[in-house]
Amino acid sequence: MSQEKKKNLSEFTPFSINSNKIRIGIVVSEWNDHITDSLLQGARQTLLEHGVSEENIVVHHVPGSFELPSGADLLYAMDPTLDAVICIGCIIQGETRHFEFIAQAVAQGIMRVGLDHRKPTIFSVLTTNDMRQAEDRAGGVHGNKGVEGAVSCLKMIALRQELEEKPQL
């Protein structure tokens, strides 16, 4: 196995963000919960380390990854003060094509929710061939995809803050 494949994918260059008033929703799939719980811990810890206050992190669970887009859409509709939503799930390849349909629907649904609400809606969903690959990406040798989701979320919020501060031409 090459060094590139062993890389911890959750490493990132530190950055700063005005996070004292940021409100972030997290929607977490209950399916494969030992994986999604680890991803949630990684995301939450990363947000806290970047100055997001505990009371400004709103977590809700949905039955499975297929329900993540609906959960994110409901969060935005019910709490317009949210700056972003992180969608956390784990879809593992089985013996049928079900995996393909679910993964594609979830990815497209999360993207659509973000575009519809014009707010960062982060795809932090593992799509792996087996449980071992999921474990490797939920705090194992390849890092924690929840950390990556939180970093992406904060960077997208920072981009929005930067663009809102620029004078209109």
- Is 39 a member of any domain? yes
- Is 2 a member of any domain? no
> What is the pLDDT at residue 114?
97
Helices (H) and strands (E) in the chain, counts: 6, 6
- The catalytic position among 50, 60, 61, 98 is 98
Q: Please report, for the domain that includes residue 65, its CATH number.
A: 3.40.50.960
- Is 112 a member of any domain? yes
| Pairwise CA distance, residues 32 & 132, whole Å | 12
Q: Which residues pair with 86 in a beta bridge?
A: 26, 122
- Is 82 a member of any domain? yes
How confident is residue 11, by pLDDT bands cut at 50, 70 and 90?
low
pLDDT in tens, 107-149: 999 999 999 999 999 999 999 999 999 998 988 888 899 999 9
pLDDT in tens, 145-161: 999 999 999 999 999 98
- Is 79 a member of any domain? yes
Annotated catalytic residue 117: no
Q: Please give the structure tokens belonging to residue 161.
A: 């803050």
- Is 119 a member of any domain? yes
> What is the pLDDT at residue 40?
98
Can you give the residue range of the structural domain that contains 141?
A: 33-52+59-160
pLDDT in tens, 31-85: 999 999 999 999 999 999 999 999 999 999 999 999 999 999 999 999 999 999 9
- What is the number of domains present in the chain? 1
Angle at which helices 33-49 and 145-165 cross, to 10°: 40
> What is the pLDDT at residue 140?
83
Q: Phi first, then psi: what are they for 127, rounded to 5°?
A: -130, 95
Q: Which amino acid is at 14?
A: P
Q: Where are the alpha helices (DSSP H) in the chain?
A: 3-6, 33-49, 68-78, 98-117, 131-136, 145-165
What is this structure's pTM? 0.89
- Is 10 a member of any domain? no
Residue 115 contacts by C-beta under 8 Å, 6 or more apart in sequence?
none
| Pairwise CA distance, residues 135 & 95, whole Å | 20
- Is 68 a member of any domain? yes
